[in-house]
Amino acid sequence: MSKQYETVIGLEVHVELATKTKIFCSCSTAFGGAPNTHTCPVCTGMPGSLPVLNKQVVEYALAVGLAANCQIHQYCKFDRKNYFYPDNPQNYQISQLYLPICHDGGIEIETAEGKKTVRIHEIHMEEDAGKLIHDEWEDCSLVDYNRSGVPLIEIVSEPDMRSAEEVIAYLEKLRMMIQYLGASDCKLQEGSMRADVNLSVREVGTEAFGTRTEMKNLNSFRAITHAIEGEKNRQIDLLESGEQVVQETRRWDDTKGASYAMRSKEDAQDYRYFPDPDLTPVVISDEWIQEIRDRQPEMREEKQERYQKEYGIPAYDAGILTSAKRMADMFEETTALCKSPKKVSNWLMVETMRLLKEHGMDAEDIRFSPENLAKLIGLTEAGTINNTVAKEVFEFVFDKDIDPEQYVEEKGLKMVGDEGALRGTIEEIVAANPQSVADYKGGKQKAIGFLVGQTMKAMKGKADPGVVNKILKEILDK
């Protein structure tokens, strides 16, 4: 490759909002109901039905817009995007084209290259479509409208990113911000956050943008990174071999590690956007904006600082604890119950993170309650169980949110610290391991560790290690 190329990337991010009901009707947004059970005449496009805007959608969109430093269109409207597809019961999607609720914002990201601002072109509100299910067996397609009308915001960035690293930093920042606002859980795998990547390449130093493509079906940060690398290389190869990049939409297949053209610009539909006459304009007063501003929760940076000051948590740890809203919530709620911030932090940063990783889960997937973690910490502090047992019990807390007090009681895991009960076992261990005893007496202090281990094993981990040490020394030093 003789020339130097630069990648130019802009993102369109769809986020499913965490409202209880849909954007234009009062049906539930709950995920996973039996097909077509969360539906009504409005979200199934029945003749004569009319949309009524869910106020909470506007509030979430405003909250995200304000957090992303956007300007607000205080007079905004909904438009119809007309296209035929069976997952869209009215054959138009209610969206915003002419006057989106938020515009001209930006957020700061940080990568190895340093800090930079990614500008946000606009944020608009719209409705999600239903889901098509293709039944190969019956050779027909079925449609489930449970998702039809679930509220979305689409966050459109300017083409300000230059690498996959920047894209991931932007998405992580966005995700964290939205999670902190409580506006969405932002799960890529479940589709509550979806990113389309617009990418073009140009020779370093040129002003004009190259022809861009749009990449869809990116379900993880990993897929996004791969798709960006793949598409960048594909475009450069085309240009290097004297061909041209075609403006088109491409679908990324992460298992094959390649993308396929879905439709080109020539097939681009004319969506015949026009203001939806069934909805009145949304008028957003200064007071309403102020109300939303006043209600904005504590964001990550503020939390990080407070954890250090209030709880004496080191900066690095505070960074990890606040890396997901759920984690920070767990930390604060558990600490409020057991008053041992450092221990809570330790349980979350070590055991919780380990188990999340092992299970391939996100912090958002944490199922256990602060109450049970607090109880577990209480048990260790009271000396009821030792650390080894605590770790074992925690796995059950993590998995099934069991009550550790009850569990320890039922399984008889209480630490044995009674000297009389331990002495017999220790004497047996000492008798059975003359070599270790000789080693110890010969000056190898470490040999006592082996004997402690054997005792713990014999006691099924329930012995109080302090007491075991004390008795062992008594016997050996005799």
SS3 85: coil
Any bridge partners for residue 69, and if so which? none
The site map against another protein for 218-257 (x = CB under 8 A) is ----------------------------------------
The site map against another protein for 265-304 (x = CB under 8 A) is -----x-xxx--xxxx------------------------
- Please state, in angstroms and rounded to a whole number, the distance separating the CA atoms of residues 189 and 16: 13
37 binds another protein (CB under 8 A): no
Smallest distance from the beta carbon of 22 to another protein, in angstroms? 14
89 binds another protein (CB under 8 A): yes
Residue 82 or 308 having the CB closest to another protein: 82
- Please state, in angstroms and rounded to a whole number, the distance separating the CA atoms of residues 412 and 404: 12
Residue 35 or 106 having the CB closest to another protein: 35
DSSP conformation letters of 15-42: EE---SB-SSSS-B--TTPSTT-S--TT
The site map against another protein for 100-139 (x = CB under 8 A) is ----------------------------------------
- Please state, in angstroms and rounded to a whole number, the distance separating the CA atoms of residues 440 and 475: 12
Say how many C-beta atoms besides its own lie within 10 A of residue 61's C-beta: 31
Determine the interface stretch with another protein among 77-85, 216-224, 291-299, 376-384 (rule: CB under 8 A): 77-85
432 binds another protein (CB under 8 A): no
Candidates 20, 30, 37, 52: give the one binding another protein (CB under 8 A).
52
Helix (H) or strand (E) holding 62: helix 55-67
Residue 268 or 421 having the CB closest to another protein: 268
Candidates 30, 71, 75, 91: give the one binding another protein (CB under 8 A).
91
- Please state, in angstroms and rounded to a whole number, the distance separating the CA atoms of residues 195 and 12: 6
Smallest distance from the beta carbon of 350 to another protein, in angstroms? 52
22 binds another protein (CB under 8 A): no
SS3 176: helix
Candidates 6, 33, 35, 45: give the one binding another protein (CB under 8 A).
45
135-154 residues in contact with another protein (CB under 8 A) are 143
SS3 194: strand
Candidates 2, 4, 32, 48: give the one binding another protein (CB under 8 A).
48
Choose among 64, 148, 142: nearest CA to 100: 64
- Give the neighbor-by-neighbor strand order of the sheet with 193-203: 71-72, 102-111, 114-127, 151-157, 5-16, 193-203, 213-216, 248-253, 258-264
Residue 49 or 217 having the CB closest to another protein: 49
Say how many C-beta atoms besides its own lie within 10 A of residue 470's C-beta: 12
Determine the interface stretch with another protein among 4-12, 37-45, 216-224, 459-467 (rule: CB under 8 A): 37-45
- Please state, in angstroms and rounded to a whole number, the distance separating the CA atoms of residues 106 and 433: 69
Candidates 1, 2, 34, 47: give the one binding another protein (CB under 8 A).
47
Choose among 64, 349, 65: nearest CA to 179: 64
Q: Which residues here bind another protein, judged by CB under 8 A?
A: 41, 44-53, 80, 82, 84, 86, 89-92, 143, 270, 272-274, 277-280
